Chains A and B, each alone.
Chain A
Amino acid sequence: MRATARQRQTQPLQIVRLSMARRGRLLRRLWHDAPLSSIGALGVIGFLLLALIGPYLTPYNPTANSLSERNQPPSLAHPFGTDNFGRDILSRIIYGGRNIFALTGSATLIAVGLGLVIGLYVGYLGGWLDQIVMRLADALLALPSLLLTLVLLGALGNSRFTVLVAIVILYVPIVTRVVRSVVLDVKTKAYIEAAEIGGESRFHILFREIMPAVLPTLAVEGALRFSYAIFLVASLGFLGLGVARPEPDWGLMVSEARDWYALSPHILFFPSAAIVVLVVCVNLMADGLRRLLEYSEAD
């Protein structure tokens, strides 16, 4: 039984199972069609590496004040200069990047995982469960994202954990809806019917037969969610919400640098640039993933 089930899995679009040669071909085509998308993906990897190993590269403590070195312009010792407490801005950006990656990355992964499981189940089973879950999702989606986050920050308290919960609550309905729409399409395919007749367990059908077809779309959606999450966390940080001072936070750094703009604009420039460059890179990466999905569908 199992062996025949394996053989049946000559299914549509599964980037995960493509041969290396075909993967290489798709990537080269992406580089040719949309070089910016590839550069964006490389940029995201760069930011990620910096967040992972950056702390070992910088000799400065991101929260250590140094009154003799306040508001220094960029120099060899401090490539991005120092802020009004004499703290090294590059170190603060590296540690702030770590914080924002940890928070938005884990929140996005949790939301994508939950949305995937819920979407698979309600999409495949349908019926009243599907109706209830989707109406609930509609109600949650009727709340503008920052407002729902503000409600939760007010109710649960102003902490990073609340922000994580808020992002998960915001994105689970969106991911669920995307997954469900793919499931609705896939479950009418003949190979699913074959698996049902073959007596495969529901778990097997959901996670081994349907899920691979959902993954490419999910990757695109996940990348988009990740970019919105960065945006949201940076905005909250700017409002002074969901951050633990004096932990470095990009949004809060921008907010605190406002008063020093006339004197030393670099304090404002570097954290702002970090946010913009990262968000643009993630958006480009999402666009690249979408193109890859289109290529493999067109094949």
Chain B
Amino acid sequence: MISYLTRRVLFFGLTLLLTSLIVFAAVRLLPGDVETAVLGRGAEPAARAALRQELGLDLPFLIQYANWLGKFLRGDWGNSYALKAPIMPLVMQRLGNSMRLALIAMLIAVPLSVLLGLLAGLSEGKPFDIAFSLISLILVGIPEFVMGIILINVVALEWKLLPPSASVPPDASFSEALPRLILPSLTAAAVLLAYIGRLTRVGVIAELRRTYVRTAVLKGLRWRQVVFKHVLRNALLPTITVIAISFGWLISGLVVIENVFAYPGLGRLMVFAIQQRDLPLILGGVMIAVTAFALANLIADLLYAALNPRIRLS
């Protein structure tokens, strides 16, 4: 277990390092024009050269990367061009806001999807299963922005149950923000629900066909015991990985959802940064999102290993 743990953590660090190199290279090597972004179009060549030197853009690429990485690890992420403010506190605040949304979406989606997936898997081919499969198939095909707009128009504007926009002040407290968080969380949960539910269903069906299920039934265990003590446990193992992967999906989804609901999260900040071509802000925001995603994967892997001795012993 210890060696598995070290291997996984090392792998996590290596992946993050490589990813940061790729993102840094994309932002620095591609023909984006930092000088124009900072100084405006009509800048003097001398001013441009001075800025390049100041930002270290005249150094070789790998030295630039090492410098940036050193500062990044020490928490000095530079200033945003567009907002003229330090990046790290800004990105961290927005990350916190996005995490609130992600957390509520997960709390709604995970238990519900596991339950529905289990019920559908147990009633394979029956009306409930067919209805579940059809609805989840359509849910998977509905982009977040369409779902968000439907919820806004029906729940908020026609039924007037909840506020249509989630534009809270960026530093609003959780209880202040909560009523405005429900619709965006539901939007995020809808896609997750279908996705996790479908995979749980497949897992349950696969486990039910295993011979140990027949053995358990034949030796006289009650069906409820077979399902909850044996089938569900085994079927849920892959679901852990799926939840971690769907966290990456959620990060992408939140970019869209935050823009639909005008919610001050990391995704909305990123789209703003792209529109402004604010490269340091893009770099900081993407790196923090990637770290969060990689961390979720790491936790899922460790949890998986803790629950499944077959993995850590091999």
Contact = CB atoms under 8 A, between A and B. Distances in A.
B23 A154 contact: no
Interface string A121-158: 00000000000000110111011111100111111111
A268 B18 contact: no
Nearest to A156: B30
A47 to B, nearest CB: 13
A235 B141 contact: no
B271 A150 contact: yes
Contacts, number: 133
A150 B270 contact: yes
A150 B255 CA distance: 10
Contact of A158 (B140, B252, B274): B274
Contact of B144 (A135, A138, A158, A235): A235
Interface in B37-96: none
Contacts of B31: 155-156
Interface stretch (B210-218, B222-230, B285-293, B301-309): B285-293
B202 to A, nearest CB: 12
Given A150-B282, A254-B145, A272-B146, A139 B27 contact: no
B141 A155 contact: no
A277 B146 CA distance: 12
Contact of A147 (B16, B144, B252): B252
A288 B18 CA distance: 37
A147 B18 contact: no
Interface in A150-186: 150-158
A275 interface: yes
B142 A147 contact: no
A155 B293 CA distance: 22
Contacts of A283: 137, 140-141
A231 interface: yes
A261 B154 CA distance: 11
A158 B14 CA distance: 31
Interface in A248-287: 251, 254-255, 258, 261-262, 265, 268, 272, 275-277, 279-280, 283-284
A283 B144 CA distance: 17
B259 interface: yes
Nearest to B278: A154
A220 to B, nearest CB: 15
B143 A235 contact: yes
A207 interface: no
A170 B259 CA distance: 23
Contacts of B157: 261-262
Interface string A99-128: 000000000000000000000000000000
A145 B138 contact: no
B231 interface: no
B18 A154 contact: no
B123 interface: no
B274 A150 contact: yes
Given A145-B248, A154-B278, A280-B138, 14 more contacts: A140-B22, A142-B19, A143-B293, A144-B249, A144-B293, A146-B256, A147-B289, A151-B286, A234-B143, A239-B256, A254-B149, A268-B149, A272-B149, A275-B146
Closest 3 CB pairs of A and B: A139-B18, A146-B252, A280-B141
